Chain A
Amino acid sequence: MNKKNITLVINEKKHELSVFPNELLLNVIREELELTGTKYACGIGECGACTVIVNGAPILACLTLAVAVDGSEITTIEGLTKADGTLHPMQQAFLDHSAVQCGFCTPGMILMGKALGDENPGLKGITEADINNYFKGNLCRCTGYTSIVRAVMSCAHEGK
C-alpha cells in the first residue's frame, strides 16, 4: 500500500503527514499527533465521541479518511484553550455546570457547543429544543443530558 502525503492544519498548526489511504482521521489525530482528547468509542459513527470540526463543520473523525480531508483546517478539543491556559467559554460552562462525569463524551459535546455558537453567533435565540436537535449524534451514558444542555444554555444566556 502506498502512503500519501497530506497537509492538515490542526488547531492552527500545520502538519505535513504521510498516511496510508485507509487511515482514519481519528487514528491520525490520536496516534500520529498524540492529540488524545478526541475519543475513539463506537467506531461506526453512532456516538459522536470522535467529533472534530473540519473547515467549520463538526464531523465524525471515525468515519472520515485522513486523505479525504487533505488541506483542511481542523479543530480538536485541544485547540479551544488559549495558549495562556484560558478556557473557551463553552469549556468553562461545562465546568461551572458540572456537565462532566466520566468525560468520554465531553470533548465531542463541547465542540458541538462551540460549532453551534459559531453557526449562531452569541447562541442568540437558541432554545433547549435546538440544542437537543443539534446534539442528536452525541451520546452520553453517565453525566446525563440535563447538565450538558444547561451548560450550553448558560452560554446562550450570556451571549458567549
Chain B
Amino acid sequence: MGELEYLITKDFEEIFSAIEKTKGLAKFIAGGTNIIPYMHAEAISPELLIDLNGLEDLKYIREKNGTITIGALTTISEIVASEIIGNKCQILHSAANSLGSPLTRNRATIGGNLADASPAADMAPPLLALEASIHTKRGGVEGREIPLDKFFIGPNKTVLAEDELITQIRFSKPKDSARGIFIKLGLRNSLAISVVSIAVILDMEGQVCQKARVALGAVAPTIIRAFHVESKLEGGEINENIIQECAEIVKEEISPISDIRASAEYRRLASSVILKRAIQQVLKGEVL
C-alpha cells in the first residue's frame, strides 16, 4: 500500500470536496470486507479512503405506507435481525443470512454489497426481484433514483459517478398474495461465493400468476432479470410444462463464464435445475 489518507466525517460536502481534490484516487469504504482484500491484493491503490461510517444517519430499516427503505450503511447482520425484513420480506432475509459468515455480516453493508457490483453479490438478486431502486447523493448536483436493473453495467461496474454515493435502497412491500424464494448454490455451505443464485417472486391469484419476477446471480457479467422467463410465467396457470419451458428458456437468457468455481456449462445446467426447483417450491407456498 502506498501513500494513503483517511477521512471520516458526517458532512457530505466535506466528502464531495475531498473527492474533487483527489481526482480519481479516492475510494469509499464502509464495512471494508471487499475494499481491504482488494487493497491487500493491490487491485486498487487509493490515495484517500473515505469511511462512510461517519454518516450515521444512513443506518436504518423502515417501513412506511407500504414502502420499505434501508439505509446504505445498514449491516447485513442488521438486515438478518430485522423484524420488518423477517416478517415482510423473507427472500431478502435468507439472502442476507447466506452472505459470507456472521463475522463478515457484522461489518459488511447493503450499500457496499451493491456498490461492489460483484456478479455474485448475494443481496442483489432478491432486491432485483423486489424491483428495488437505489437513491444517491452527489457533489454539486442533485442525487437521483436509479432502478436496480439499470444500476449494474458490468463486473464490479455500476452507473455511479465517482462523486456519487448510495444513501438508500427502497422497494415496495410485497403484496400479501406474493410468494418468493432465494436459492443459492455454492461449493459448500459456509462462506461460499455463489455459483448460481436465484430469486423468484410470484404473485398468484388462485392458479393464475399475475406477476413474476426472476433474478439470477453469478451467471452473467451482472446480476440479471430473466425477462423471458417472467413473461412465460405471467398471465396463466403455471403447470409442469410451463416450468419445463422456463428451465429451457433460462439457459438462453444467461451468459455464464467458466471460472475457478464452475464451468459455464455447469452454471447453465445448474441454473435450469435450480430455477425449476425455485418455481416449484414457491408454488408449494414458500413464504416471501
A residues adjacent to B (C-beta < 8 A) = 1-2, 4, 20-22, 24, 43-46, 48, 51, 57-60, 62-65, 67-68, 70, 112, 133-134, 136-138
**Cβ-defined contact, A68 with B190, below 8 A:** no
Cα A70 to Cα B191 with chains together (Å): 28
Q: Is B59 an interface residue (CB 8 A)?
A: no
Cα A24 to Cα B260 with chains together (Å): 28
Spot the interface stretch: B82-90, B95-103, B194-202, B207-215.
B95-103
**Cβ-defined contact, B5 with A1, below 8 A:** yes
Cα A134 to Cα B51 with chains together (Å): 28
**Cβ-defined contact, A65 with B103, below 8 A:** no
Q: Given A20-B4, A57-B77, A137-B190, is A65 in contact with B36 using a C-beta cutoff of 8 Å?
A: yes
Q: Is B280 an interface residue (CB 8 A)?
A: no
**Cβ-defined contact, B6 with A63, below 8 A:** no
Contact of A137 among B8, B40, B104 (CB under 8 A): B104
A62 partner residues in chain B, CB cutoff 8 A = 36
**Cβ-defined contact, A63 with B101, below 8 A:** no
User: Min CB distance, B45 to chain A, in Å?
Assistant: 10
Which one of B8, B29, B190 has the greatest number of beta carbons of chain A within 10 Å?
B190
Which positions 12-62 of chain B face chain A at CB distance < 8 Å? 29, 31-33, 36-37, 39-40, 49, 51, 53
**Cβ-defined contact, B191 with A46, below 8 A:** yes
A44 partner residues in chain B, CB cutoff 8 A = 37, 40
Contact of B33 among A2, A45, A134 (CB under 8 A): A45
Q: Is B263 an interface residue (CB 8 A)?
A: no
Q: Is B3 an interface residue (CB 8 A)?
A: yes
Q: Given A58-B102, A136-B102, is A64 in contact with B107 using a C-beta cutoff of 8 Å?
A: yes
User: Min CB distance, B118 to chain A, in Å?
Assistant: 14
**Cβ-defined contact, A137 with B6, below 8 A:** no
User: Min CB distance, A64 to chain B, in Å?
Assistant: 6
Cα A77 to Cα B147 with chains together (Å): 45
Cα A68 to Cα B102 with chains together (Å): 19
A2 partner residues in chain B, CB cutoff 8 A = 5
Q: Given A4-B6, A57-B77, is A137 in contact with B51 using a C-beta cutoff of 8 Å?
A: no
**Cβ-defined contact, A65 with B106, below 8 A:** no
**Cβ-defined contact, B106 with A68, below 8 A:** no
User: Min CB distance, B135 to chain A, in Å?
Assistant: 24
Cα A64 to Cα B34 with chains together (Å): 11
A68 partner residues in chain B, CB cutoff 8 A = 8, 29, 32, 51, 53
- Lowest 8 A-B CB distances belong to which pairs? A137-B101, A21-B6, A137-B103, A136-B101, A136-B190, A57-B106, A22-B1, A63-B36
Which positions 85-134 of chain B face chain A at CB distance < 8 Å? 100-104, 106-107
Q: Given A57-B106, A65-B32, A68-B53, is A137 in contact with B100 using a C-beta cutoff of 8 Å?
A: yes
Q: List 16 A-B contacts (CB under 8 A).
A: A1-B5, A4-B6, A21-B4, A21-B6, A24-B36, A45-B103, A58-B106, A62-B36, A63-B33, A63-B37, A64-B107, A68-B8, A112-B102, A136-B102, A136-B191, A137-B100
Contact of A67 among B36, B37, B40, B51 (CB under 8 A): B51
